Amino acid sequence: MFIWRIISGQCHLAWSVVILLLIKNVGCNFDNFEPGQCLSKFDYDYKVMQKLLQFEREIQELRERKTCTDTTHVAFMAELSADLVDPSAGTTVIFDSVRTNVGNGYKSGPGIFVAPVDGTYSITLVASSGTKAASSNLHLYVMHNMIQVGYVYLDDNSDRWLLRSTTAVLELKAADTVFVKVGFRNGAGNVEGRSLHTHFSGFLIN
């Protein structure tokens, strides 16, 4: 069993355990002694050194693959705590009830996600509306900075509640913003809040 310790952000092998393992695995076994094996202390030390060099190479390979480096975790999810009633076009939808905010990227005051680090992110919008009488032609746009990257259309063609969603995978730079705003609308339109009917979420993929 290998024991690892994280020291100053780097991976180090607990050499005391390695040496014990090497003594166990490389030491002379006189019960099964064969000619040419462990003929001297120098031969034993040489075998130990070979094993140590092998472990050094394996550790270096792990470092190059970044197996032991710290990973930045970013994830958020927020919902509407109340119905959004008859919003104007251009209004930013403020998801005020925050359920998850790992990395503190989501700002509940303005309702905007600010990427804390560069990376590839998955962003999802789920939106609900009531029957057609309350949801006349209302679009919600997902915005990356000032560019539309997705939308949800709550139309007026249903006698039942609607629940629709969209997902965008975005390459974000640190400090890029992602938010939801009311786009095209025609007539009155409500977005249902509470009970996770409408929510905004995202996470860092890598």
Number of domains in the chain: 2
Domain assignment present for 162:
yes
Boundaries of domain holding 144: 75-204
Task: Answer whether residue 189 shows pLDDT above 60.
Answer: yes
Rounded to an integer, the average pLDDT of 9-19 is 43
Domain assignment present for 155:
yes
Report d(CA 157, CA 11) in Å as an integer: 59
Residues 35 and 90 in one domain: no
Using CB atoms within 10 Å of the CB of residue 95, give its burial: 0 to 12 exposed, 13 to 18 middle, 19+ buried: buried
| Helix (DSSP H) and strand (DSSP E) numbers for the chain | 2, 14
Contact partners, residue 31, CB within 8 Å, separation at least 6: none
Give percent of the chain above pLDDT 90. Answer: 41
Instruction: Give the CA distances from residue 86 to residues 65, 128, 159, in Å, rounded to whole numbers and listed in that order.
Output: 53, 14, 19
Residues 178 and 200 in one domain: yes
Residues 60 and 79 in one domain: no
Residues 57 and 99 in one domain: no
Give percent of the chain above pLDDT 70. Answer: 63
The DSSP call for residue 136 is S
pLDDT level of residue 50 (50, 70, 90 thresholds): confident
Contact partners, residue 56, CB within 8 Å, separation at least 6: none
How many CB atoms are located within 10 Å of the residue 145 CB?
12
Domain assignment present for 196:
yes
pLDDT level of residue 93 (50, 70, 90 thresholds): very high
Phi, psi of 20 (to 5 degrees): -60, -40
Domain assignment present for 37:
yes
Task: Answer whether residue 158 shows pLDDT above 80.
Answer: no
Tokens of 121: 């992110």
Concatenate the DSSP letters of all residues of 83-139 into one string: -EESPPTTPBP---EEEEEETS-EETTTTEEE-SSSEEEEEEEEEEE-SGGGBSSEE
pLDDT level of residue 45 (50, 70, 90 thresholds): low
What's the mean per-residue pLDDT of the chain? Answer: 76
For residue 169, give the nearest of 126, 134, 119 by alpha carbon. Answer: 119
Rounded to an integer, the average pLDDT of 109-125 is 95
Tokens of 84: 């959004």
What is the bridge-based pairing of β-strands 138-144 and 177-185? Answer: antiparallel
For residue 177, what are the β-bridge partners? Answer: 114
Task: Answer whether residue 137 shows pLDDT above 70.
Answer: yes
3-state secondary structure of 106: strand
Tokens of 162: 């609607």
Residue 62 or 81, more confident: 81
The amino acid that residue 163 corresponds to is: L
| Domain boundary residue, one of 19, 45, 64 | 64
Domain assignment present for 70:
no
Domain assignment present for 20:
yes
Q: What is the per-residue pLDDT for 136?
A: 62
3-state secondary structure of 185: strand
Residues 99 and 154 in one domain: yes
